[in-house]
C-alpha cells in the first residue's frame, strides 16, 4: 500500500483517481489548494505527492520549492497541461521527481508512481514474507503453513507496514499517520483496537508472537539477520 497525496483543484479528476487507486490497494488523499497541500505535506507522511502546476493561491512550483526548502524528501510528480520543454525543465530543476502532461492515462500515472517508488527502496512486491508467514497485499490474504486467512483492509495495511519495516518500533501515533487517512476521525486508541483484531487473526493462524509489544514504545516485528525476509 502506498499513501498518496493529490494536490489538484480538478474535483472530477480527484474522484476518478481516488477510485482508481483504491482498487489498486492504495490510499489517496486529496486537497485542492497549494496552501492546503503544503500544510498536509508538513503535518503528515506520504509515499508520493501528485502536484498540479496551476493551483488557486500558491501554485504548484511554489509548493514544491517550499517543501524541498523545508527538507521534504517525498517523491513529487507534477500533473500539468503545460507540456513545453521549458516547463518540464523548470519543474524538475526545482525538485520534482517526474512530470506528467494532462490529459493522461491512469495506467501511465500508476507506472510513474511505481517508478518513483522504486528509486529509494526497490520495487515493492505484492507479497511480503517473514519466515513462514506470507502476506499477499493484493488479495489481503495471510498465508501460514499453506492455510489462508482473509484480513480486513486496515488489518492488512497494519501488518504490511510492520512487515516491510522489520526490527523497527512504531508507536500508535506513527502507525496512525502511516496507515490511516488524515481526514478520518481516528485516534491512537483506534490503532490499538485494530491491532487487537489483527493479533486475534494471527493467533488463529498460530502466529500470535509475530508482532511484539515494547512497553511504552510501540510495536515491532523482529527477525534474525540470517533469516530470509522479503523487502
Does residue 172 sit in the same domain as residue 199? Answer: yes
Range of the domain at 140: 127-220
Does residue 106 sit in the same domain as residue 133? Answer: no
Does residue 135 sit in the same domain as residue 182? Answer: yes
Does residue 106 sit in the same domain as residue 134? Answer: no
Q: Tell me the C-alpha distance between 178 and 174, whole Å.
A: 6
pTM for the whole structure: 0.61
Summarised one tens digit per residue, pLDDT across range 60-88 is 999 999 998 888 888 899 998 888 889 88
Summarised one tens digit per residue, pLDDT across range 147-189 is 999 998 889 989 998 998 888 899 998 888 888 876 567 788 9
Q: Which of 121, 141, 171 is the C-terminal boundary of a domain?
A: 121
Q: How many domains does the chain have?
A: 2
Instruction: Name which of 157, 147, 131, 137 is nearest 209 in CA terms.
Output: 131
Q: Which long-range contacts (CB under 8 A, 24 or more apart) does 92-95 make?
A: 94/61, 94/64, 94/65, 94/68, 95/64, 95/65, 95/67, 95/68
Give me the CATH number covering residue 48.
3.40.50.2300
Does residue 86 sit in the same domain as residue 145? Answer: no
Q: Which of 121, 137, 169 is the C-terminal boundary of a domain?
A: 121
Instruction: Name which of 26, 22, 45 is nearest 170 in CA terms.
Output: 45
Amino acid at each position: 500500500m502506498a499513501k498518496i497525496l493529490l494536490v489538484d483543484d480538478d474535483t472530477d479528476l480527484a474522484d476518478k483517481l481516488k477510485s482508481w487507486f483504491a482498487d489498486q490497494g492504495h490510499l489517496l488523499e486529496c486537497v485542492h489548494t497549494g496552501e492546503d497541500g503544503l500544510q498536509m505535506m508538513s503535518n503528515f507522511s506520504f509515499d508520493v505527492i501528485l502536484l498540479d502546476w496551476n493551483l488557486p493561491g500558491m501554485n504548484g512550483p511554489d509548493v514544491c520549492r517550499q517543501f524541498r526548502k523545508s527538507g521534504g524528501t517525498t517523491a513529487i510528480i507534477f500533473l500539468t497541461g503545460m507540456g513545453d520543454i521549458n516547463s518540464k525543465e523548470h519543474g524538475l530543476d526545482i525538485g520534482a521527481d517526474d512530470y506528467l502532461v494532462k490529459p493522461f492515462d491512469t495506467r501511465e500515472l500508476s507506472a510513474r508512481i511505481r517508478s518513483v517508488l522504486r528509486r529509494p527502496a526497490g520495487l515493492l512486491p505484492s507479497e511480503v514474507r517473514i519466515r513462514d508467514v506470507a502476506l499477499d497485499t493484493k488479495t489481503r490474504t495471510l498465508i501460514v503453513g499453506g492455510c489462508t486467512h482473509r484480513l480486513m483492509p486496515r488489518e492488512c495495511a497494519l501488518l504490511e507496514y510492520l512487515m516491510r519495516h522489520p526490527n523497527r518500533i512504531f508507536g500508535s501515533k506513527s502507525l496512525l499517520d502511516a496507515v490511516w487517512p488524515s481526514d478520518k476521525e481516528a485516534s491512537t486508541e483506534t490503532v490499538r483496537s485494530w491491532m487487537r483484531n489483527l493479533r486475534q487473526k494471527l493467533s488463529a493462524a498460530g502466529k500470535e508472537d509475530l508482532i511484539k509489544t515494547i512497553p511504552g514504545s510501540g510495536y515491532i516485528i523482529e527477525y534474525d539477520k540470517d533469516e530470509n525476509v522479503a523487502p
